[in-house]
Structure 1
């Protein structure tokens, strides 16, 4: 059974947990998955990572079932993360473009509403520092990877769209997460710790139509990351 509850409902969990789960069974073992949410970029990533999707079953009779307990960020999972990161780079080995200085990953209108009210200001700041502005919802998986691949710094609002960074962030790179003031979550901190990647965060300030990010505070965080 190559699925779990969180990965069946949230894209971030799907990328963090369900795709690595696909490397656990021995080669040729019959696998199935339950019906899940449909993710726009699933097919693209499965192609890139050479992970064909198991048949989806609404109901099935199983005579013999193997259950894998893939607890937290264990050493096996870390090895599988590294294997998938290498598969992605092997797939794009002929990519001739150079890695970006950094990337701002726009959440856009996807998922639960988390609006950076002064996002235009933040984008202007980051663009002036040489960052690429990438909105995954408007791109294919291939296009996203090409824009993010081996970026040393990726900045984005906390949420499932940050999962696009998992297999693209450069080795020793840093993920900078913008935390909404009313919602604090650190699922990607566990991932970056497991792979010896950098992690930083900044908390926004409440605003009438979402929240704001202090440009000076963000620049300070980025200066600290650059000096680390």
Structure 2
């Protein structure tokens, strides 16, 4: 899973197995105007060379297996798993001291979360929900995440996907703990991602649209596209796009809007996963990326779903930036 467990922690597993084998898969590079890659100054979630490789890989590439690990006698304290001095962080600590007292309550379970999926909603939406079936097969699926508010997107997705883990409250001792290494973008992860899309679209008849622009505004971590409103207005007027603020739409409304869209566009971030998760194969996925914060995670998601990805880098910094309309329009034209 994203947020790979450290070698020191997984070395303590009493059993290690392959949940799914590695794969040799066909990848398509991101489509981009000349000079877009030259705007990239920094990346997140991976090194700059790794990010560029994920964006530009072309042809057959080997992806590793999905791994399972079984442990005994693991303590979970303040969001951190402890094993004989080794640590694996699932959340930021809230308390100053870690393993001062061992928890008394004992459980056994399989976790499908990571620090990344607990930190960003988009990571939960694109990675935790795809890893959940691995934990569910054990009959012991658990999470440290509290039950989401009934009106939240998270609750709506859990209901649609019939996700019902046991929720851990507070510190516990695991008599037995199963973890998964689901970072590799292999064929089994592609299969699980496409099954998730199928479930989300079951019983629906979304109407084809040229594209959907998902607004970010000032929601979430600061990534402010100063001319977002102007770009959205022109896409709606000149290209027939729907413009939606995800904060003011239900998960059902987002799925209906994006399920047959020929393009998903917006500032790079969690909100775009609503659209990418259900957009059809060969849909154009075009995140607007800040030059100091370019990521390839959404490219990996679009690869799993057979979509095409556009590399579009704005001008500015990692928090405030602008994008020229011509760059956006010509990038979308690359998909025609």
TM over 0.5: yes
RMSD: 2.1
Greater RCO between the two (CA within 8 Å, min separation 6)? 2
Q: Is 1:150 matched with 2:254?
A: no
Superposed CA deviations along residues 93-136 of structure 1, whole A, max 9, x for unmatched, are: 244x5122210011122111111212222112200210000110
Q: For residues 67-216 of structure 1, what are the structure 2 equivalents within 5 Å?
A: 67-90=179-202, 93-95=203-205, 97-128=206-237, 129-206=239-316, 210-216=320-326
Identify unmatched segments of 5+ residues in structure 2: 1-110
Aligned pair partner of 1:13 in 123, 126, 141: 123
Higher strand share: 2
How many angstroms apart in 2 are the aligned matches of 1:182 and 1:167?
26
Q: Is 1:64 matched with 2:173?
A: no
Aligned CA distance change for structure 1 residues 150 and 94 (closer, same or farther; 3 Å) = closer
Give the structure 1 partner of residue 335 of structure 2: 225
Identify unmatched segments of 5+ residues in structure 1: none
**Which secondary structure does the structure 2 equivalent of 1:84 belong to?**
helix
TM-score, length basis structure 2: 0.61
Tell me how far 1:183 sits from its aligned partner: 1.8
How many angstroms apart in 2 are the aligned matches of 1:26 and 1:180?
37
TM-score, length basis structure 1: 0.88
Structure (1 or 2) with the larger CA radius of gyration: 2
How many angstroms apart in 1 are the aligned matches of 2:276 and 2:139?
27
Aligned CA distance change for structure 1 residues 36 and 26 (closer, same or farther; 3 Å) = closer
Q: Is 1:2 matched with 2:2?
A: no
Q: Is 1:54 matched with 2:166?
A: yes
Give the structure 1 partner of residue 140 of structure 2: 30
**Which secondary structure does the structure 1 equivalent of 2:133 belong to?**
coil
Aligned CA distance change for structure 1 residues 66 and 122 (closer, same or farther; 3 Å) = same
Moved over 3 A (4+): 25-28, 35-40
How many angstroms apart in 1 are the aligned matches of 2:142 and 2:204?
33
Asked if the contact 1:12/1:160 (under 8 Å) is kept, the reply is yes
Tell me how far 1:26 sits from its aligned partner: 5.2
Tell me how far 1:36 sits from its aligned partner: 6.1
Q: When the two structures are aligned, how many residues end up with a matched partner?
A: 222
Higher helix share: 1
How many angstroms apart in 2 are the aligned matches of 1:86 and 1:127?
28
Tell me how far 1:28 sits from its aligned partner: 6.7
